[in-house]
């Protein structure tokens, strides 16, 4: 769609294509006939034809084709050089104006086309006023040109650009109604030997409308055509006759088109018998029959297609296909999630090196590989009853636990009977060293398996989340969508496509609207009212003359924050790293990572930790999985530096607060009537293996503030100092409070890197 719209905008002078499609040929012939028809309207034909020409050009019809037809139509009904001048002037003016707008890559507005129409009539206006003194006629012609230019432009744009199968706006309906009446006025004047072209077109239009559209549309078409014809001939009997023809077609439309056609012909015949058409009764009946027969000859497939598309049957089918594909994809993602979860469970049950390479096993290996080959083995085995293992186990324990076995660790039985004590001690120590290396290798493999297990579990959670999103049902052709389109049209907003997905607080909508409608403030209000959830415009994408508007559930709260920080004395880089990001539209994440020490090295450690947290959050991992993985990844680094982590995630749709701490300083929730302390006693990340983060859930309300700080600030203030500072400042400005806490910490002798973050939640 994007490529097609942009191409239509760029192609100011479309190239000729001799291989016209059926639709293009029909459209071109219709435009030509309409221009000739309006130009034939007596004194004001020039103004009518000019308005239609300007409207067609505004609707992106090929000016190189339309202009010659327009000039010819005007000159045919007024054969003089003056009319040639009158008709050429607006063509040249429109061409220049379009070239200027094309130069600046701007779309031509309809009001500019209307101004060109009036300006192009300057020769006609001057000559009419100076030479003929036809002031009234000239004024009426100018008024007709302006009004009908707007009517023709709006209607032609809706038909040729926006698409005639979409619902019409109020202004489009009014403009189309005016043009229908004008068509009836012009057709009534085309009469040859009492045979009026009006009744042929009226019979065709009434029968076609009854076969494709609603009954109201058919009645309005018949009334407007009849009104225009009645004004042309000053005869209200024509209006009554056409209205009766329309009512007859509507009455028999539930049957077949043949029934409606016979009803229209029968109604015309009855009117003829009652003298409604005067002396031209049989001619009127003949022309009406010609129009109805021509409509009946249209293939049935055309009517079926138009009726199906107007009802949205194809879109309903597409909705079912899209939702079914979404459910299938969600099922596949859930299956993949189960696979990763099973892999995680299988890797979770790992054995450490200490459980495999034990002192008992070491003692048995020494008995088998050393004592079993000794020349004095029979005497030892006889004395111990083949239980040499129990004598060597204390030596194995000492070698594995203390790193080395000596003569002091040998049992009396060994020192009193074994003649190779020193050799035995060497063997035990050597074997113990080998066991230690195997333990380390086994522990490393076990650690890797546990990390893979947790990563697989995290991937399973992400896949579950993606599956839930894919499984959300979308709707772009239901009764709800049709109702939304109708309500938007009442406010002159044209939404050619609306896609709604989700329910409740997870509702989202995508709309394809005109460029002039995208910024209207009433648009999200209407959508919110009828979807029963508050929505806001998330983003707007340009699609040429149209816009794609994305609406998402509006948050209840928003977060204002303030930051105050200062490096340790003589350090150019702070060891504290902070992070502020939006993992989703309804979540705000604030993090402080305090690398142990100061300077560039501590800053690197803390930056790495924060970068890992941000990456995991963007990937959609669970909080507990994130901190567990971060702790283990930090342990794998060779530097002996540790980091404290302090994370707060605020849900703006509910006011929920997730606090995740690992060895960090206390945080504080400042409410209207109290201050709540959120403390943590766990060691820093990387200090101990297997340490789990402290995760707590809190509820924030309008006006509540959250204070987070690094160790440098908290060590100088402690909980009491923070509360006293909050009471002394008594402010709702987060930046003022952050600056005040940092200043107070420096006054109390804070020497480490200092960082303070204050967040305030407020309703929007």
Are the CB atoms for 425 and 405 separated by under 8 Å? yes
194 CB neighbour count, 10 Å cutoff: 15
Question: Which one, of 86, 60, 69, 77, lies nearest residue 7 by Cα?
Answer: 60
Question: Which one, of 505, 683, 708, 696, lies nearest residue 591 by Cα?
Answer: 708
653 CB neighbour count, 10 Å cutoff: 16
16 confidence band (pLDDT: 50, 70, 90):
very low
Are the CB atoms for 595 and 602 separated by under 8 Å? yes
| pLDDT value, residue 126 | 87
477 confidence band (pLDDT: 50, 70, 90):
low
Rounded Cα–Cα distance for residues 207 and 461 (Å) = 60
| pLDDT value, residue 622 | 58
10 confidence band (pLDDT: 50, 70, 90):
very low
More confident residue, 220 or 618: 220
More confident residue, 78 or 599: 78
**What are the Cα distances from residue 57, in Å, to 117, 156, 462?**
11, 9, 53
Please give the biggest Cα pair distance in the chain: 148
| pLDDT value, residue 617 | 66
Rounded Cα–Cα distance for residues 610 and 637 (Å) = 15
- Per the prediction, the chain carries an average pLDDT of 79
**Is the model's pLDDT at 756 over the cut of 90?**
yes
| pLDDT value, residue 350 | 61
Rounded Cα–Cα distance for residues 563 and 574 (Å) = 14
236 CB neighbour count, 10 Å cutoff: 12
**What are the Cα distances from residue 16, in Å, to 13, 63, 161, 307?**
9, 11, 19, 33
Give the range among 104-113, 117-126, 528-537, 627-636 with minimum mean pLDDT. 627-636
Are the CB atoms for 228 and 178 separated by under 8 Å? no
Beta pairing partners, 474:
501
Are the CB atoms for 666 and 677 separated by under 8 Å? yes
| 61-85 average pLDDT score | 85
Tokens of 25: 């040929």
| pLDDT value, residue 605 | 62
Rounded Cα–Cα distance for residues 724 and 716 (Å) = 13
Burial, 540: exposed, middle or buried (Cβ in 10 Å; 0-12, 13-18, 19+)?
middle
- Among the residues of 577-598, which ranges form H helices? none
**Is the model's pLDDT at 169 over the cut of 60?**
yes
% the chain with pLDDT above 90: 8
| pLDDT value, residue 591 | 86
Give the range among 33-42, 440-449, 513-522 with minimum mean pLDDT. 440-449
| 126-148 average pLDDT score | 87
% the chain with pLDDT above 70: 79
More confident residue, 16 or 647: 647
| 94-99 average pLDDT score | 88
| pLDDT value, residue 20 | 58
Provide the edge-to-edge strand list for the sheet that holds 675-678.
Answer: 557-566, 754-763, 705-709, 667-670, 675-678
| pLDDT value, residue 562 | 93
| Per-residue pLDDT tens over the stretch 384-443 | 665 666 777 777 777 777 777 777 677 777 776 776 777 777 787 788 788 778 877 777
Question: Which one, of 271, 240, 252, 165, lies nearest residue 211 by Cα?
Answer: 252
Rounded Cα–Cα distance for residues 531 and 83 (Å) = 57
The number of helices, as runs of H, and strands, as runs of E, in the chain is 28, 17
More confident residue, 256 or 33: 33
Question: Which one, of 162, 166, 212, lies nearest residue 476 by Cα?
Answer: 166
| pLDDT value, residue 9 | 39
Beta pairing partners, 643:
595, 685
**What are the Cα distances from residue 467, in Å, to 435, 460, 551, 582?**
47, 10, 22, 22
More confident residue, 450 or 242: 242
**Is the model's pLDDT at 637 over the cut of 50?**
no
DSSP 8-state secondary structure symbol assigned to residue 308: H
Going by C-beta distance under 8 Å and a sequence separation of 6 or more, which residues neighbour residue 641? Answer: 595, 596, 597, 601, 602, 605, 686
**What are the Cα distances from residue 619, in Å, to 334, 458, 466?**
17, 10, 11
**Is the model's pLDDT at 612 over the cut of 90?**
no
728 CB neighbour count, 10 Å cutoff: 10
DSSP 277-295: TGGGHHHHHHHHHHHHHHH
Question: Which one, of 642, 680, 676, lies nearest residue 661 by Cα?
Answer: 680
**What are the Cα distances from residue 113, in Å, to 54, 75, 506, 524, 567?**
7, 22, 44, 31, 64
Q: What is the CA radius of gyration of the chain?
A: 43
82 CB neighbour count, 10 Å cutoff: 13
Burial, 572: exposed, middle or buried (Cβ in 10 Å; 0-12, 13-18, 19+)?
exposed
475 confidence band (pLDDT: 50, 70, 90):
low
**Is the model's pLDDT at 84 over the cut of 70?**
yes
Rounded Cα–Cα distance for residues 376 and 394 (Å) = 21
197-201, 637-641, 659-663, range with greatest mean pLDDT: 197-201
């Amino acid at each position: 769609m994007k490529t097609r719209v942009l191409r239509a905008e760029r192609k100011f002078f479309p190239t000729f294509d001799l291989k016209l499609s059926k639709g293009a040929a029909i459209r071109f012939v219709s435009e030509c006939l309409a221009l000739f028809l309006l130009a034939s309207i007596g004194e004001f034909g020039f103004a009518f034809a000019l308005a239609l020409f300007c409207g067609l050009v505004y609707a992106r019809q090929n000016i190189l084709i339309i202009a010659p037809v327009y000039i010819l139509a005007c000159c045919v009904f007024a054969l003089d050089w003056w009319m040639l001048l009158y008709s050429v002037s607006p063509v040249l003016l429109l061409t220049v104006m379009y070239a200027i707008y094309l130069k600046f890559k701007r779309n031509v507005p309809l009001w500019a086309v209307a101004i060109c129409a009036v300006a192009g009539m300057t020769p006609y206006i001057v000559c009419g006023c100076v030479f003929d003194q036809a002031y009234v006629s000239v004024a009426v012609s100018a008024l007709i040109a302006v009004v009908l230019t707007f009517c023709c432009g709006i209607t032609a744009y809706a038909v040729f650009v926006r698409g005639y199968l979409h619902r019409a706006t109020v202004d489009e309906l009014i403009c189309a109604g005016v043009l229908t009446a004008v068509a009836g006025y012009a057709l009534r004047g085309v009469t040859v030997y009492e045979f009026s072209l009006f009744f042929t077109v009226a019979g065709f239009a009434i029968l076609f409308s009854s076969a494709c559209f609603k009954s109201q549309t058919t009645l309005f078409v018949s009334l407007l055509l009849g009104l225009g014809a009645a004004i042309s001939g000053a005869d209200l009997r024509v209006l009554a006759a056409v209205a009766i023809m329309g009512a007859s077609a509507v009455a028999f439309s539930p049957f077949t088109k043949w029934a409606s056609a016979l009803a229209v012909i029968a109604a015309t015949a009855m009117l003829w018998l009652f003298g409604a058409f005067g002396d031209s009764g049989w001619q009127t009946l003949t022309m009406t029959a010609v129009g109805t027969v021509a409509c009946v000859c249209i293939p049935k497939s055309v009517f079926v297609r138009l009726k199906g598309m107007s009802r949205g049957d194809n879109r309903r089918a597409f909705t079912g296909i899209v939702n079914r594909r979404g459910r299938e994809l969600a099922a596949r993602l859930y299956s993949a999630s189960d696979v990763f979860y099973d892999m995680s469970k299988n890797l979770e049950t790992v054995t450490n090196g200490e459980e495999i390479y034990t002192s008992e096993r070491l003692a048995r290996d020494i008995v088998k590989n050393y004592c079993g080959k000794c020349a004095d083995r029979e005497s030892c085995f006889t004395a111990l009853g083949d239980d040499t293992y129990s004598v060597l186990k204390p030596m194995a324990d000492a070698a594995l636990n203390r790193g080395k076995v000596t003569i002091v660790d040998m049992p009396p039985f060994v020192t009193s009977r074994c003649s190779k004590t020193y050799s035995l001690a060497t063997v035990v120590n050597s074997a113990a060293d080998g066991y230690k290396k195997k333990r380390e290798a086994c522990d490393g493999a076990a650690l890797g398996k546990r990390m893979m297990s947790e990563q697989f579990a995290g991937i399973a959670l992400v896949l579950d989340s993606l599956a839930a999103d894919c499984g959300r049902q979308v709707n772009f052709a239901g009764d709800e969508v049709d109702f939304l389109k109708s309500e938007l049209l009442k406010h002159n907003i044209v939404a050619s496509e609306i896609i709604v997905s989700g329910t409740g607080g997870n509702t989202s909508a995508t709309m394809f609207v005109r460029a002039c409608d995208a910024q209207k403030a009433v648009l999200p209000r209407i959508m919110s009212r009828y979807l029963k959830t508050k929505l806001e415009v998330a983003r707007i994408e340009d699609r040429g003359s149209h816009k794609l508007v994305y609406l998402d559930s509006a948050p209840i709260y928003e977060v204002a924050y303030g930051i105050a920080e200062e490096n340790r004395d003589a350090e150019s880089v702070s060891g504290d790293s902070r992070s502020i990001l939006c993992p989703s539209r309804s979540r705000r994440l604030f993090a402080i990572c305090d690398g142990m020490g100061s300077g560039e090295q501590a800053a690197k450690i803390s930056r790495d930790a924060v970068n890992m947290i941000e990456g995991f959050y963007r990937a959609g991992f669970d909080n507990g999985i994130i901190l567990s993985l971060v702790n283990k990844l930090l342990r794998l680094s060779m530097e002996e530096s540790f980091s404290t982590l302090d994370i707060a995630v605020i849900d703006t749709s509910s006011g929920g607060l997730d606090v995740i701490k690992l060895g960090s300083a206390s945080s504080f929730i400042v409410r209207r009537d109290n201050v709540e302390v959120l403390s943590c006693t766990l060691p820093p990340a990387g200090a101990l293996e297997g340490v789990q983060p402290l995760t707590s859930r809190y509820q924030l309300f309008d006006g509540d503030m959250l204070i987070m700080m690094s160790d440098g600030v908290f060590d100088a203030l402690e909980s009491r100092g923070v509360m006293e500072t909050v009471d002394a400042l008594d402010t709702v400005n987060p930046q003022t409070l952050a600056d005040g806490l940092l200043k107070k910490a420096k006054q109390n002798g804070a020497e480490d890197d200092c960082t303070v973050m204050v967040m305030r939640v407020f309703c929007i």
